Structure 1
Amino acid sequence: MAGQQGRYDVVVIGAGPGGYPAAIRAAQNGLRVACVEREALGGVCLNWGCIPSKAIIQAATLCDKARNKGAEMGIEIPNVAVDMAQLTDWKDGIVRKLTGGVGQLLKGNGVTVVRGTARLASANAVEVQTDDGVQTLETAHVVVACGTEVVSLPDLPTDGEWVLNVRGLLDVRSLPRRLAIVGGGVIGMEMGMAYARLGSEVTVIEFLDEILSGVDRDCVKWVERRFKKLGGRVMTRSKAAGFELQAGEVHLRVTAREGGDETTVVCDKVLVAVGFRPNVAPLGLEPLGVALDERGHVRVDEQLRTSVPNIFAIGDVTGPPYLAHRATKQGIVAADVIAGKHAAMDVRAMPAAIFTDPEIAEVGLSEQAAREQGYEPKIARFPFAALGRALIYGDKPVPGLVKLVVDRPSGLLLGAAICGPNASDAINELAVAIEMGALAEDLALTVHVHPTIPEAIM
């Protein structure tokens, strides 16, 4: 490819939701840019994470409505069946369309895409192992956007057939009758609830005291109730200790965290969803003086600079929260800083959503975090059971609430949590409010469309 041996203003390593926006923004800023990607454009989020998982969740939502919510409304849909192969093909079609769009965006903005595995030979030279050999890209700046990789368990190595990571689960072409999930975090519970609604019997094994650790407990309790109603089983304070195959079934050995009797969970597939670790080892960052934290994430300042001034890092490789939209924002900030513009990250209003049933979304400070920062928080709650639009969705009982964290003396909106239908959409209004320094009174004075879910924010 022309220009690959030349000098660039910026070389971006990784074309995920942080890397490709960084490359495009840098090019729009008038810089000469190359973007290196070893797998698929769009990264994990587009190909094996955010988009395909939400496609499965959307199908699960339709399936659940058809089976469980139509009859009371006078809609009978007999014999609802799931063709997992067709569902997987549909999901893959969405991914292909979006991946192609990323390629066109990069091309249209004049970004040189280099396919291969990158490592830093120096702070100003990126070596790329391609199918045609090693190519060297000289550059004034480097943006590391290589993301994370899934954590595996020594006692449960993924084999692509019986024990899967989330990438493998998203590609199964037959619905597992029984699914065991090791890890009750965001991915574990999103996938657990999706497959339970599709018709699988799901068991979640969680090492900690509770599922969705760190998430607002008033919200999590609704997810726990719904999962139980779907027939889901949660085993907390537990760990997977290995498995055996017997007559085409997985016999997963589970023990208590503190030791004790062993329990066997019989299933058809096991999903290991115990977290992520930074994918920096192949890059050769430390010999160049790039500082890492105790977990191996790249340390950055508010302008995404590492300890080496011309090397920047963005996205999951910089540590949690692991959010695609955070990576995108970081990529834009880094590209602007490189171009000499004044830009910096402000994380006060970084929304996050969990696509369980019901959805959970949060932004800003929790009550505890507000107290720790010296505020005097006041909590306002509104249950969705009192909201007309929420009743129309047909859930019984009507799940969820809106929860606002407000500074009592000033009325400043500090944070919010929403649990309920379309929480991932409704939270964005509150992110804007926090970003703009709005008071709780500003929300109350803003007329909302009736009947809608965001009406509860008033």
Structure 2
Amino acid sequence: ERIFNWKQVYNLKELPEHLIVVGSGVTGAEFASAYNRLGAKVTLVSSRDRVLPGEDADAAELLEKVFEDNGLRVVARSRAESVERTETGVRVHLSGEGAEDTPSIEGSHALVAVGGVPNTAGLGLDDVGVKLADSGHVIVDGVSRTSVPSIYAAGDCTGKLALASVAAMQGRIAVAHLLGDALKPLRPHLLASNIFTSPEIATVGVSQAQVDSGQYQADVLRLDFHTNPRAKMSGAEEGFVKIFARQGSGTVIGGVVVSPRASELIYALALAVTHKLHVDDLADTFTVYPSMSGSIAEAARRLHVRM
């Protein structure tokens, strides 16, 4: 009634007075953002230094600023040890560095958003020889084929990124392979993904962390949307576009977009990454003026290397 996982929370009929969200990953951040925008008081418990610890640091920092501006409280470096029902709501008990100042938090409801496990038990997979990982995920190859050549698997049960777009691509690849059609195996490094917070955070290809670690050598250009006239008209200036171009060649190898409907804007960068386009290819393509996509072309222009 008051303590939910991410599926059960949809049963709520009324807006929580104070929702405590345990987990600062994608699911936790999305629900925290949504209920904050709906008008509920929200507290987000993060075991790490910030929200979205596995995502672009600039994007996560901006999102946390937006959270703060909207009155959403983030309790960082705190791990939820337990959640209990009280007479009037719930109490979340914390441990860790952040718990020294805040040993517990009381609210009306709690959402525990800390991941899930594959529901593959009892399907008879062992009986037909389909191999599972120790985690319970179905082991598949690049064309979605299991250890039994005539059986394919797609979606979250395979242990790939748990995204609908990944599941759909795995399914299309499986059908193409089954029919003997030409295909390309699943290429996770080309995956475009989106976090449906407000603003949204979309990414594709190489990340800032991979560049900072030296795994990739890239020129990086970030362009904030407060310079974009369409963003000003829309009141959507809290955001940016970031492009990663391979040093020496100018090939687009990654990108980040933080804005409303970033899920739509990332497609241009996904095309560039997938088809190895040059920053000049983006820069030389006409964009509508004014438009949010104009910032993608402008960022690409700033990465141009004079020959």
TM-score (norm 2): 0.90
Q: State the Cα distance separating 1:258 from its structure 2 match.
A: 9.4
C-alpha deviation, 1:282, in angstroms: 2.0
- Secondary structure (helix, strand or coil) at the match of 1:240 reads strand
Q: In structure 2, what is the equivalent of residue 346 of structure 1?
A: 187
Tell me the matched-pair count: 296
For residues 217 and 258 of structure 1, what CA distance do their matches in structure 2 show? Answer: 20
Structure 1 residues 371 and 226: CA distance shift in structure 2, 3 A = closer
- For the pair 1:216 / 2:216, whether they are aligned, the reply is no
Q: 1:200 to 1:378 in 2, by over 3 A?
A: same
Change (3 A) 1:193 1:300: same
Find 1:256's aligned residue among 92, 96, 99.
Answer: 96
User: Do the aligned partners of residues 451 and 165 (structure 1) sit closer, same or farther apart at CA in structure 2, a change above 3 Å counting?
Assistant: same
Corresponding residue SS for 1:166: coil
Using a 3 Å threshold, how does the CA distance of structure 1 residues 316 and 246 change in structure 2: closer, same or farther?
closer
Deviation at 1:409, TM superposition (A): 1.1
8 Å CA contact 2:56–2:208 kept in 1: the answer is no
8 Å CA contact 1:222–1:358 kept in 2: the answer is no
Q: 1:371 to 1:229 in 2, by over 3 A?
A: closer
8 A contact 1:219–1:419 mirrored in 2: yes
Between the aligned partners of 1:440 and 1:416, the Cα distance in structure 2 is 12
Using the TM superposition, give the Cα deviation of residue 322 of structure 1 relative to its aligned residue in structure 2, in angstroms. 1.1
Task: Please give the root-mean-square deviation of Cα atoms over the aligned residues, in Å.
Answer: 2.1
- Provide the residue aligned with 1:271 in structure 2: 111
What 5-or-longer segments of structure 2 have no aligned partner? 298-307
Matches within 5 A, 1:105-120: none
TM score, norm. by length of structure 1: 0.61
2:196 match: 355
Greater relative contact order (Cα 8 A, min sep 6): structure 1 or 2? Answer: 1
Share of identical aligned residues, percent?
A: 36
Q: Counterparts of 1:151-162 in structure 2 under 5 Å?
A: 161-162=1-2
How far has the Cα of 1:287 moved from its partner?
Answer: 4.9
Aligned to 2:284: 445
- Kept in 1, the 8 Å contact 2:90–2:108? The answer is yes
Equivalent residue letter for 2:270? A
Counterpart CA distance in 2 for 1:379 and 1:445 is: 19
1:330 matches 2:173: no
**Aligned position for 2:295:** 456
In the alignment, which residue of structure 2 is the partner of 1:9?
A: none
Aligned to 1:406: 245
Q: Judge conservation of contact 1:205–1:240 (CA < 8 Å) in 2.
A: yes
- C-alpha separation between the residues in 2 aligned to 1:237 and 1:359? 24
Post-superposition offset of 1:242? 2.5
Contact 2:239 2:258 in 1 (8 A): yes
Note if 1:240 corresponds to 2:62: no
* Partner residue, 1:180: 20
Cα displacement string for residues 59-95 of structure 1 (whole angstroms, at most 9, x for unaligned residues) = xxxxxxxxxxxxxxxxxxxxxxxxxxxxxxxxxxxxx
How far, CA to CA, are the matches of 1:386 and 1:355 in structure 2?
Answer: 23
Say which one has the larger Rg.
Answer: 1
Amino acid at match of 2:162: Y
Cα shift readout 1:183-230 (whole Å, capped 9, x = no counterpart)? 111111111111111111101112233211211011111110011111
